[in-house]
Amino acid sequence: MSIEVKIPAVGESITSGVLSTWHKQNGDMVKDGEALFTLETDKISTEVPAVGSGKLRIQVDAGQEVKIGQLVALLEDNIKAPGGSGEPSSPAEAAEFASPAANATAPRSASTTPVPVDETVPATSRSGVEQERNEALSPAARRIAEEEKVKLSEVMGTGKYGQVTKSDLIQYLESKSSPPPPAKPSAAPAPDVDVSRTPATGPSPRFTRRKMSPLRKKIAAQLVLAQQNAAMLTTFNECDMSAVMQLRSQYQETFQKRHTVKLGFMSFFIKAVVDALQSVPEMNTRIDGDDLVENHYYDIGVAVGTERGLVVPVIRDPDKKSFAELEKEVAAYAGKAREGKLHLDDLTGGVFTITNGGIYGSLLSTPILNPPQSGILGMHKIQNRPMAIGDKIEVRPMMYLAVSYDHRVVDGKEAVTFLIRVKECVEAPTRLLLQG
């Protein structure tokens, strides 16, 4: 009896995704609850656990697009455990369940050295081994082996436990089709050799083509949607970071010991944005058809860059949370984003977004709106610059701030007022504590 492994539902609006990675190899023993594969959709990337135990038989290769509910693997749960009364069903399983003494004399490894066929073994036994190796192939590798009539005993396996992979078969076929090296080097090619058709052995190809991931497609669609459906405009200002940096330096050690998290810059900007949204409610308004919807809550999205692309987890009710709670929540979301463990609920419901290009060295940028929101704040690199302070020139740590907004909803006066309020709160952080 086999257990079917199907693509689970991960959200009401999600109908398909890409099976990006198998965490187990074809033929591996899998335990109930172990991470089996990663499903990447246009909104989240999540690990899917096994729904039972058994020997894995993969039906869909990694990198393929799959539908919700699609069968992607089987877990064969009728495999005899070591020490059981039953006999192994194949020579490969017999080797897998061999005693330690036997394994000591014939260890299994992922060596790339091909295993020679023992001519003293009867042909029927060798065909059984060949059949077992063929069953352990992935669907794509099995198709290549059958179409090209490849003898698996001649192929070096680089997979787990010496398993033959798709790339092993392709490399084997290419090595057979490539011309043998000349017996003796010569200064010039023979007259009957067409040099122009000799395969190139120089540098790698000049480009690589691959499909866009669902997340990258979604990011691209959202950015184009923002450009096409909003009257976007950006206004800039600069912020003196001296007070915040001094405050962090003065209380960092105490803060970290007490709350087990570092006091960063993001909590100050989240609090400053909340204060500015309360002062300028137009920035907390969005268009819905022919209506203007003014939000009376302040859930703030914080953009996080990952290897798979940009995601924006949402901090809930930051107006009711302390600096320590905000720092812990931002750090937790950043970790979940990079590990691909964000849930759909983590990414929905924000009214405003903050993005920090300064961590990558950006000095100035024009951030793009995150629909249907009407505003986004861009933070940038802190850089020492000479500033006129009264009648003196002083070097201060300065940061350029940029707020992009939907001009259909927000006028220039409100946008500038909003950004100045953020600047005032960061330059005098006691405002955030006294709400003044």
Distances (CA, A) of 147 to 64, 139, 176, 235, 364: 21, 12, 15, 62, 56
Q: Which of 367, 376, 369, 366 is nearest to 229 (CA)?
A: 369
Q: Is the peptide bond before 372 cis (omega within 30 degrees of 0)?
A: yes
Catalytic option among 118, 317, 345, 411: 411
Q: How far apart are CA 281 and CA 146, in angstroms?
A: 67
Is residue 380 annotated as part of the catalytic site, yes or no?
Answer: no
CB < 8 Å & 24+ apart, contacts of 76-81:
76/2, 77/1, 77/2, 77/3, 77/52, 77/53, 78/1, 78/2, 78/54, 79/29, 79/54, 79/55
Q: CA 61: distance to chain centroid?
A: 19
Q: How far apart are CA 189 and CA 357, in angstroms?
A: 56
User: Between helices 166-177 and 139-148, what is the axis angle to 10°?
Assistant: 30
Helix ranges restricted to H, 280-387:
323-338
Sign of CA dihedral 322, 328, 332, 338: positive
Is residue 343 annotated as part of the catalytic site, yes or no?
Answer: no
Q: What is the largest CA-CA distance in the chain?
A: 98
Q: How far apart are CA 111 and CA 158, in angstroms?
A: 7
Structure tokens at 35: 């991470």
Give the SS3 label for residue 249: helix
- The amino acid that residue 148 corresponds to is E
Helix ranges restricted to H, 230-292:
242-259, 266-279
Q: CA 46: distance to chain centroid?
A: 9
Active site residues: 407, 411
